[in-house]
């Protein structure tokens, strides 16, 4: 069987159909996760433009369940394959084309996978422990070299209901082994939803897996919520709420739900951003007469003022060394990005192309800034390369906003508008692959990608 371009097209069609069926099957199987307000990944219906041409082909063979009872509801290999596809750097072989199903290295027949032009093959087994947990063993091989990259006893265990987490953790290990970059599949996203109209609008701050599954409500309110921000240890979320009648900033512990108001000064209290060490919050306050950026020490609540300018200064975000912030200012007429040391001092302008640049999200290495770039009435997400000063649009618009980098810089979440509804998109950082995350009802916006997760959270 020789692979040819025409077969690729029919493979793609069958791939999409298979994915759609898989998603539907999962929907029926995991009813609770799809209750009102859930967020789930869909078959990529738009724009895998150029993504498949350069993506690395990998086959994730369905893992074999070795147990006396039923296998867990989650298909771990499906979750891993979806992760690989979503990041844009890989192309997982569609299930219908997986003609053999080895469960361990010794069962792999390399000529088969060579013929299917696969670069890597991942196999695995799910073993039921006496206590009911599932132990997932997995092995990764380089097809051309017929060489083990991961294996000999590597395994992750989890509860039956926690198999998605296990799958994402495996995907992270595979991703890092192949690319050298830490994987960011086992992460979460915080976002705001608004449902209803007029006087009965309900706002919620939600947290879900970064592929959209397992949404949890963190806050519900009849007044607007905005700007969720993760603490670096992922335990807390800061956000803006109008429930006190004016914008104020809350910090809430996700596990317990306990929260406190950290800023409720006269005027605006908004745009919270945790420092890299989690001890401080950059925020926007206007009680001094106009919106300026301050740094608040969370322990003692003391504040230092970073910007002292009559313009609007807002949307601060920290550089990884914790010594400066990038922020939005309209001091030159319209919003542009600037950088300032946290102790105060002169701000230097960062963006010079485009009439409107705002809402920065910085990659972990500081080399790229994702932002909202406006031209006329079209607002798109653009990525600025700090070394060259050039920016490249990675979303189509017209009303795209709030970009958020994955902690490994490989992907960006952002909010878009489709008709009257707000939706979230995940796009690879180079803009090649884009996938929509769809809410069952209502308006979704303000995504914030969590830091890397730690076990036990």
Partner 1 sequence: MKLPIRVLLTAVVASATLVACSGKKTKPDQTTGGDTTSTTTSGANNGGKYTPGDLDTDSCLRQRVVYFDFDRSEIRPEFQAAVACHASYLRQFPGARVTLEGNADERGTREYNTALGERRGNAVSSAVGAAGASSSQLNVVSYGEERPVCKEHGEGCWQKNRRVEIVYTSKQ
Residue 426 contacts partner 1 per CB under 8 A: no
Exposed, middle or buried: residue 165 (CB in 10 Å: 0-12, 13-18, 19+)?
A: buried
Residue 447 contacts partner 1 per CB under 8 A: no
- Shorter beta-carbon distance to partner 1: residue 399 or 440: 399
Say how far apart CA 100 and CA 110 lie, in whole Å: 11
Using CB under 8 A, which of 60, 312, 394, 427 touches partner 1? 312
- Shorter beta-carbon distance to partner 1: residue 84 or 412: 412
Say how far apart CA 382 and CA 196 lie, in whole Å: 31
- Shorter beta-carbon distance to partner 1: residue 152 or 420: 420
Residue 267 contacts partner 1 per CB under 8 A: yes
Residue 356 contacts partner 1 per CB under 8 A: yes
HEC profile of 219-263? EEECCCEEEEEECCCCCEEEEEECCCCCCEEEEEECCCCCEEEEE
Question: Directed axis angle between helix 76-86 and helix 5-29, to 10°?
Answer: 130
Say how far apart CA 178 and CA 16 lie, in whole Å: 25
Size of the site for partner 1 (CB under 8 A): 36
For the CB of residue 240, give the shortest distance to partner 1 in the complex, in Å: 8
Exposed, middle or buried: residue 433 (CB in 10 Å: 0-12, 13-18, 19+)?
A: buried
Using CB under 8 A, which of 81, 116, 268, 384 touches partner 1? 268
Pick from 70, 73, 61, 63: nearest CA to 25: 73
One DSSP character per residue, 340-397 reads EETT----EE---SSSEEEEEEE-TTSSEEEEEEEETTEEEEEEEETTT--EEE-S--
Enumerate residues 318-337 that contact partner 1 by CB under 8 A. Answer: 328, 330, 334-335
Residue with tokens 């009802």: 441
Stretch that binds partner 1, among 97-105, 245-253, 386-394, 433-441 (CB under 8 A): 245-253
Residue 245 contacts partner 1 per CB under 8 A: yes
For the CB of residue 247, give the shortest distance to partner 1 in the complex, in Å: 7
Enumerate residues 372-401 that contact partner 1 by CB under 8 A. Answer: 372, 374, 377, 379, 398-399, 401
298: left (phi over 0), alpha (psi -120 to 50) or beta: alpha
Residue 358 contacts partner 1 per CB under 8 A: yes
Contact between 357 and 371 (Cβ < 8 Å): yes
Residue 247 contacts partner 1 per CB under 8 A: yes
Per-residue binder mask for partner 1 (CB under 8 A), 171-210, x = binder? ----------------------------------------
Per-residue binder mask for partner 1 (CB under 8 A), 212-241, x = binder? ------------x-xx--------------
| Binding stretches for partner 1 (CB under 8 A) | 224, 226-227, 242, 245-247, 267-268, 270-271, 284, 286, 291, 312, 314-315, 328, 330, 334-335, 356, 358-359, 372, 374, 377, 379, 398-399, 401-402, 417, 420, 445-446
């Amino acid at each position: 069987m020789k692979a040819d371009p025409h077969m690729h097209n029919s493979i793609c069609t069958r791939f999409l159909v298979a994915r759609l069926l898989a998603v539907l099957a999962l929907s029926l199987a995991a009813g609770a996760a799809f209750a009102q307000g859930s967020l789930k990944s869909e078959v990529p219906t738009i724009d895998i433009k150029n993504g498949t041409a350069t993506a690395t082909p990998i086959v994730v063979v369905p893992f074999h369940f070795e147990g006396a009872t039923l296998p867990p509801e989650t298909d771990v290999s499906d979750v891993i394959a979806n992760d690989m596809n979503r990041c844009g750097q890989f192309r997982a072989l569609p299930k219908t084309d997986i003609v053999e199903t080895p469960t361990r290295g010794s069962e792999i027949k390399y000529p088969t996978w060579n013929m299917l032009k696969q670069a890597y093959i991942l196999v695995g087994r799910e073993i039921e422990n006496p206590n009911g947990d599932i132990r997932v063993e997995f092995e990764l091989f380089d097809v051309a070299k017929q060489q083990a990259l991961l294996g000999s006893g590597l395994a992750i265990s989890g509860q039956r209901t926690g198999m998605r987490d296990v799958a994402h953790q495996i995907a992270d290990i595979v991703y890092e082994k192949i690319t050298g970059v830490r994987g960011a599949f086992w992460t979460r996203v915080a976002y705001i939803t608004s449902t209803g109209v007029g006087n009965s609008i309900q706002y919620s701050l939600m947290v879900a897996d970064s592929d959209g599954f397992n949404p949890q409500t963190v806050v519900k309110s009849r007044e607007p919520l905005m700007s969720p921000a993760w603490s670096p240890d992922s335990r807390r979320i800061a956000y803006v709420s109008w429930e006190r009648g004016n914008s104020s900033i809350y910090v809430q512990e996700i596990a317990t739900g306990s929260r406190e108001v950290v800023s409720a000064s006269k005027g605006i209290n908004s745009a919270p951003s945790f420092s890299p060490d989690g001890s401080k919050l950059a925020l926007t306050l206007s009680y001094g007469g106009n919106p300026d950026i301050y740094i608040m020490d969370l322990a003692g609540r003391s504040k230092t003022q970073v910007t002292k300018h009559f313009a609007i200064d807002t949307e601060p975000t920290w550089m990884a060394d914790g010594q400066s912030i990038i922020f939005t200012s309209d001091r030159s007429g319209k919003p542009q990005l600037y950088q300032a040391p946290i102790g105060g001092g002169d701000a230097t302008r960062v963006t010079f192309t485009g009439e409107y640049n705002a809402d920065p999200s910085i990659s972990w290495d500081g080399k790229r800034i994702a932002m909202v770039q406006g031209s006329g009435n079209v607002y798109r997400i653009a990525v600025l390369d700090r070394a060259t000063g050039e920016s490249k649009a990675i979303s189509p618009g017209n009303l795209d906003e709030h970009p958020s980098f994955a902690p490994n810089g490989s992907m960006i979440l952002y909010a878009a508008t489709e008709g009257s509804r707000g939706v979230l998109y995940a796009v690879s950082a180079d803009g090649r692959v884009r996938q929509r995350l769809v809410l069952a009802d209502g308006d979704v916006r303000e995504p914030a990608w969590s830091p890397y997760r730690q076990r036990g959270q």
